[in-house]
Structure formats: structure tokens, C-alpha cells
Structure 1
Amino acid sequence: MASLLSSVRAGLRTGLPVECRSFVTSATQPATWTHKSLRTGVIARKKGMTAMWDEWGVRIPVTVLQLEQCQVVQVLNEETHGYTALQIGSTDRTPKNVTMPMLGHFAKAGVEPKRKLVEFEVTPDAVLPVGTELVASHFVPGQFVDCSAPTMGKGFQGAMKRHGFGGQPATHGTSLTHRSLGSTGQRKDPGKVFKGKKMAGRMGGEQATVQSLKVMKIDNDLNLIYVKGAVPGVDDQFVKVRDAIKKRGDKIAPADVLPLPFPTIQPEAVKAMPRELVAKTGGSDPYVMQE
């Protein structure tokens, strides 16, 4: 077991395995973004909320998402898996806390063990080589993204908090049942409570997606993505971020930033960029009365 563990750890340091090199050579050919192209998403960590002010002084609430060692771990192709997707990993993990099968999986890809793995379905022209690192500039300011994460867990809650019921009357003889959900069934017929009835139970902790959030700012030095509005989950939660599914074609981003970086941003381009990229709001001053 010790020799196997040492060989796996040695594989993590040697880089990309031999069986992947031929794929990398073919996958690095230049590709062109089209309206039908489906890029990969990224795994970010929610760092909390703050606010921005646009050029007119309007306050915009934003959620800060940070990318940590986000890399391509595996390529799933149509021939072997029936669909085309990329397995993305995020946040390096100590090898001693990883199981042997997963150590072998990461060693085959030539990347450090990751805390979180997520598959993103892509089109064949958006496939990236194994080991490619994804950074915040994979997205552009002004474009729209979808953010998915488990919601905050609330534990066991009553029907009023869980489903928004109005409760029982506050007067006219109501005693100790003000927050009760009331009747749950009928009389002798059917004589049961139907499945799916809204009742007290476990609340939160379910996968949720907030669609079409606007990217307000990109920080290239800290790998931060500022998105307008709220994102599901608690702070430090892993969040899946990808191009908005309902904003296809030219609607996904302003015309001056299209086409999107495809299949992802090049490292040389990131080095030439300024640290912060801020989305333009445009329009007229909202504080000036129009005649």
C-alpha cells in the first residue's frame, strides 16, 4: 500500500501522463465562438456580499465569487460516455485526506487532488485539454451567468415559515394554535392525507439556481467575479457558475465584448489585462428629471 501511494504521489508531480498528450495536441487547435457554442462553467466559492456604485452613483448589491485552483480534470467524449462534457475540479486538497481511487484519478490527469468535482456539458468545439486552469476572466463584465448551489439549511420548520401559510385567526377563541397549518385531510372519503401536502418539515439545503445574473466586475489578481444580486448558499460555499442558458446568442453579453473568450481565456491575454474590469451601465442619469 505504501509503494502504491508513493507512486501515485509521484505521478502528481510528473505532470500530464503520456496517454493524454496526443489529445492535448489535437485539442489546442484554435476554435471560433458561435451562438451555438456551449462553453464550460467554473467552480467558485462564495465570499459574501458587498456593494458597487455605477457612474451615476446608483448602489448595486453584488455577490463576490472567487476561483481557487480551478482546473480541467477529465474529458468525457461522445464515443465513451455518450455525451461531451468536462469534469472541473476546484481547491487543492492534501493527498493524505483523499482515497486511493481518487488519488489515481487525479494522478492520471496530472493535477493536484481537488475538494470539489463538477461536470459541465459542452459542445465538441469547446473541449479543453486536461490540466487547463480556468480563471475569472473566463467571463467578461456585462455578460449574464447562472449560479447554482445548495440553499441555506433552515432545519425542521413549521408550515408558516416553510410554505408561507397565513396561520389561524389571532382572536375569536383560537387557543395555542395561531401558527398551526390547519386541516390536512378530508372526511371519511378519501380518509387520508394526499402525498405532497404542504406540511411542516425540513427546509432548505436543496439545490437552487439563480439565472441571468449580470457580471459587474472581474478582479484578475484575486480571481474574483462580482455578480449582481444574491447567490444561493452560505459563505465559502462552492457555487457552479456558467453562461446564462436563457441569454443565448447576442443577448448573453454586450456587443462590444463579443465574442466571448473561447473556449477560455489565454494566459497571455490575462497578463496584458488591467487588474479590474468593470461593466458599463450606460444610459442617462437616473437622478435628473426628464423634460
Structure 2
Amino acid sequence: MKIGLLGKKIGMTQIFDQQGKAVPVTILELGPCLVTEIKNVVSHGYNSIQLGYIQVKENKLNKAQVGHLHRYNMPHVKYLKEYRVDSLKDFEIGKWITVGDFKINQNISVSSMSIGKGFAGCTKKHNFSRGPMSHGSKNHRQPGSIGAGTTPGKVFAGKKMAGRMGGKKVTIQNLKIIDIKTNNNIIVVKGSIPGKPGNIVSIHQK
């Protein structure tokens, strides 16, 4: 059964393996998540399940969200995420998905919002080289030329320039699960995951 899960990032630390090497790990608190909707090939053209995470009061949701959850008498959940699945035989409306459905040494992909850096220049955002620092130079951290003259007479789309940095959805693939704490809904993943501690993360199995 391949399935995803919603949760939040707790933080990073390091553990030591059997050879005594330090391994950087990220702690994630995942679920439990509630199956709030099931879509099949007949109704929507594909198989998927929708999971809900973190129960809140009704006044924290808008009318569309409340009506959607009342359709199956679901509790009010703040976050909803749809995951495509190969088969629907293991799922039903109202079923709880926990970290117990995952295994140690399993590879997963994790998606989260990266830390926002605000407006950044080309040197910071794209690792541009700086200009001469000697006296009289007026090009220290400027972007330089952004195009030719009359031909082509425009700046091509996708040009690396100054702008907002970070604050985007980033997916890290093939992260290995080092440990699972089912009592606390926690998994330990090898490597780093984008975002600050407390960020909402979405994981799905490979």
C-alpha cells in the first residue's frame, strides 16, 4: 500500500550509526490523518484519497470547507491533501492513516515550503560573481548586461535577475526513514528538509 501523510517538521539533529559516523536527520511528526474523500476511475478518471490533518473549530473554516466535510460527517480539519493511489481496496471514508503504515529503510519524498529570504539581488539569489572592488569601479554587485541591443531588442523570459528568494514549495526525493516512533507519531528521516520547524510537510512513498 503506497500512501502519503501530512505532518509538521520538528527540527534537525544528528545520530550515530553502528560504525560511529554522525548522520544528519530531520524529525517529523506525521498524522494521524483522516481519509475525508475517495475518488475512483468511474467518478473522476483516477484513483486517489484525500487526507485531513489537524482538527479545528468550525469557525476556523470557510463555508465551502465546512460543506465539503459535512458531506461525509467528517470532523473539521484544517489541512486537506490529495494523494493518488494504485488501489482503493485498503481505504474507506473515516479511516485513520498513521506512521505505522511506513517501514524503516523505506524511501519517501517530502514536500514543504522553503524559508522565505525576501527580495534578494543576483549575487545572493543566483551566485553571480561580483565586479572589481577597486576605487572607481561602479560595478560591485550589479547584475550587468541583461541583453543585446536592437537585436533581439528584448529581455528573454527566464533571465536570472533580482527578485523574491525562497518561500516556494520544494520536494526532496528518496529520503530514507531511519527510525519510527509509533507512540508519538514521529519518524526520523536521513538528510535535511526545507522549511522552518513547525512547517507543514507532505510525504509520499516511492
Q: TM-score, normalised by structure 2?
A: 0.93
Structure 1 counterpart of 2:111: 148
- Between 107-116 and 52-61, report the one with greater CA deviation: 107-116
Is the contact between residue 150 and residue 233 of structure 1 (CA under 8 Å) also seen in structure 2? yes
Structure 2 counterpart of 1:223: 185
Structure 2 counterpart of 1:186: 148
Shift of 1:127: 4.6
Shift of 1:124: 2.1
Alignment of structure 1 residues 54-203 onto 2, 5 Å: 54-125=17-88, 127-171=90-134, 173-175=136-138, 177-203=139-165
Q: Structure 1 regions of 5+ residues with no counterpart?
A: 1-32, 34-38, 245-291
Paired-residue identity, %: 35
Q: Distance in 2 between matches of 1:172 and 1:83?
A: 65
Q: Look up the equivalent residue of 1:206 and give its one-letter code.
A: K
Higher fraction of strand: 2
Q: Structure 2 regions of 5+ residues with no counterpart?
A: none
Task: Provide, for residues 18-68 of structure 1, a one-character-per-residue CA deviation record: whole Å limited to 9, x for no partner.
Answer: xxxxxxxxxxxxxxx6xxxxx121011111111111122211111111024
Q: Rg larger in 1 or in 2?
A: 1
| Partner SS, residue 109 of structure 1 | coil
Shift of 1:153: 1.1
Q: Distance in 2 between matches of 1:134 and 1:218?
A: 14
Is the contact between residue 86 and residue 127 of structure 1 (CA under 8 Å) also seen in structure 2? no
Q: How many residues align?
A: 206
Q: Distance in 1 between matches of 2:177 and 2:63?
A: 39
Q: Kindly report the root-mean-square deviation, in angstroms, between the aligned alpha carbons of the 2 structures.
A: 1.6
Higher relative contact order (CA 8 A, sep 6+): 2
Structure 2 counterpart of 1:232: 194
Shift of 1:239: 0.9
Shift of 1:169: 2.0
| Partner SS, residue 67 of structure 2 | helix
Higher fraction of helix: 1
Q: Distance in 2 between matches of 1:196 and 1:99?
A: 37
Is the contact between residue 62 and residue 227 of structure 1 (CA under 8 Å) also seen in structure 2? yes
